[in-house]
Structure 1
């Protein structure tokens, strides 16, 4: 007698993931693993994988010109993917980080945080904070961490940046907020933060957002429910909605420069515009820049970094980091 072996879908977040009733997760998007390289053929950037803790890895990127004695800015980067797909160790990330590292002349620490739903939020935030603490610990003389020679030799710890795309932009925001209340090792400061197409949402439309997107069934809302099912306040938790009533003041962000990059056709852009405007009005004592790229959609520069508009945006990110 034939048995029914078709697995039942519990949560369908196409085109990202499907979660089945037996607990398995099928990732529908994402690039294959790509190994680090001592010298990327296109850019000359060297990369290597390191272990930060039992749970957290990272891939480091060092531009070829780093052989000089000049210290380089350090970017701690958080990848996108709705907290449930993507990897610092993938082909797409490798290509993007190589390009950004050589353009910005920066040492990049691309963080491999654990993914939901197997590791629901706030795990990704905790892993991301652990990675930044590890980087900052390199300035502390008596520390238990194993210091990385690329960071100690080439890193300028007076020029630490954080940043990310999509969910990674969300992470960068929340890390900047956390650093405002919890000092980093060695009292290291974050000089700047960039939020590229940041993943923010809420229960009610703001700015120029369409009311039709706020019926609770939008993909953004369903992703959040899947990756952080226990979030206090649900979709109005401050980590996804920085305008929630109980959200910490944006004036408390622990960086002195902020760059918000958006795309005209991206459904997340109206909220990103309000975010940048709200930071300016919050009393935050820093410099805010905002870039809106016409005619493009969510994270276009990541998926195809070779178009003219993608090159221009990456140059804007690089200029921000290399200042």
Structure 2
């Protein structure tokens, strides 16, 4: 009797990111462990909990609430941040590094944060991920419309100040935040909510033509290019889709970004640094009517403030983001 081979055959993969088998199963090759929420973080006092935004298809989120002042007659109101984590195909709002990052940011900025757990590619097509994130934004905004009577999330209903409404994201999450901001330029957010401050750290943008210090040869073989074409092979215009290349011919004007203030952050050693710099300049030149700021960090690489959240340089950047979120006219 012959032995039965139980190994599965790989169809395609991106080393260190994701592997797809011929039977359709997907294996993720990186990311940090899941950590549960907690009612009081021992270091910061921040409380966190997990909620479900939609059952089918599933969208979840982790909420973060800073330690509040002693109870007053009325619940303390806090700015609301809708946050999109990095990794179109990996990582999670429930992962160790994302949890620690948001806990630190929420304590520093004293905001209420909603970290969106969208579906992942390749099982979920990238445009649908954008839809998940837009739906999550609308769900948060719905608490202004009816005081949370439908959504029934007391942290948002009791403590959310929807006149100070923020979005942010890192890496592919910054790409998502950009696309959400562009959509908000022509689609109304529930309750007529306006996004005041938005930040994009180390945004995932790319294109077919190299810019700045990007590799001049084999430009299509580096990870930003390979990842997009692997995860979204049917994208119209490929790597020059405006979703990933906001400077592409025919891309909508960046003047349409729907926020009052925008912060773009780049890291010196990040392969996508020059894209972030170009984005900052393009927004300034587009006719964008809000304020735009740039933060450059020397000696660091992509997403360092999340992956190495305990470093002094990470804490400095988080403090800078917190100060930006608290900026008012």
TM-score class, shorter-chain normalisation, is: over 0.9
- Structure 1 unaligned residues grouped into runs of 5+: none
Within 1, Cα distance between the matches of 2:106 and 2:187? 28
**What is the aligned partner in structure 1 of residue 316 from structure 2?**
312
1:219 aligns with 2:223: yes
TM value normalised by structure 1: 0.95
CA contact (8 A) 1:205 1:211 kept: yes
Identify which of 151, 176, 192 aligns with 1:187: 192
**What is the aligned partner in structure 2 of residue 197 from structure 1?**
202
Identify which of 244, 247, 251 aligns with 2:248: 244
Identify which of 58, 65, 68 aligns with 1:65: 68
Aligned ranges 1:266-277 → 2 under 5 Å: 266-277=270-281
1:281 aligns with 2:285: yes
Cα deviation, residue 4, structure 1 = 4.4
Within 2, Cα distance between the matches of 1:50 and 1:258? 28
SS at match of 1:162: strand
CA contact (8 A) 1:66 1:154 kept: no
SS at match of 2:146: coil
In structure 2, do the counterparts of structure 1 residues 199 and 286 end up closer, same or farther at CA, with 3 Å as the change threshold? same
Cα deviation, residue 7, structure 1 = 2.6
Within 2, Cα distance between the matches of 1:108 and 1:99? 11
In structure 2, do the counterparts of structure 1 residues 145 and 207 end up closer, same or farther at CA, with 3 Å as the change threshold? farther
**What is the aligned partner in structure 2 of residue 176 from structure 1?**
181
Within 2, Cα distance between the matches of 1:46 and 1:322? 20
Cα deviation, residue 20, structure 1 = 1.6
Cα deviation, residue 35, structure 1 = 1.0
Within 2, Cα distance between the matches of 1:37 and 1:124? 27
In structure 2, do the counterparts of structure 1 residues 151 and 226 end up closer, same or farther at CA, with 3 Å as the change threshold? same
Deviations 1:263-290 (A, max 9, x none): 1000010000000000000000011111
Within 1, Cα distance between the matches of 2:189 and 2:218? 38
Cα deviation, residue 143, structure 1 = 8.0
CA contact (8 A) 1:179 1:254 kept: yes
Cα deviation, residue 142, structure 1 = 8.5
1:77 aligns with 2:77: no
**What is the aligned partner in structure 2 of residue 26 from structure 1?**
27
Identify which of 294, 298, 303 aligns with 1:294: 298
Q: What is the root-mean-square deviation of aligned Cα atoms in Å?
A: 1.5
Within 2, Cα distance between the matches of 1:260 and 1:135? 24
Cα deviation, residue 65, structure 1 = 2.3
TM value normalised by structure 2: 0.94
Cα deviation, residue 3, structure 1 = 4.7
SS at match of 1:221: helix
CA contact (8 A) 2:269 2:299 kept: yes
**What is the aligned partner in structure 2 of residue 258 from structure 1?**
262
**What is the aligned partner in structure 2 of residue 87 from structure 1?**
92
CA contact (8 A) 1:189 1:255 kept: yes
Deviations 1:155-203 (A, max 9, x none): 1101111011100000000000000010101100000110010100111
Q: Which runs of 4+ in 1 moved over 6 A?
A: none
Identify which of 124, 133, 142 aligns with 1:137: 142
Cα deviation, residue 226, structure 1 = 2.2
Within 1, Cα distance between the matches of 2:146 and 2:43? 37
1:115 aligns with 2:116: no
Within 2, Cα distance between the matches of 1:313 and 1:133? 28
Cα deviation, residue 72, structure 1 = 1.1
Cα deviation, residue 8, structure 1 = 2.5
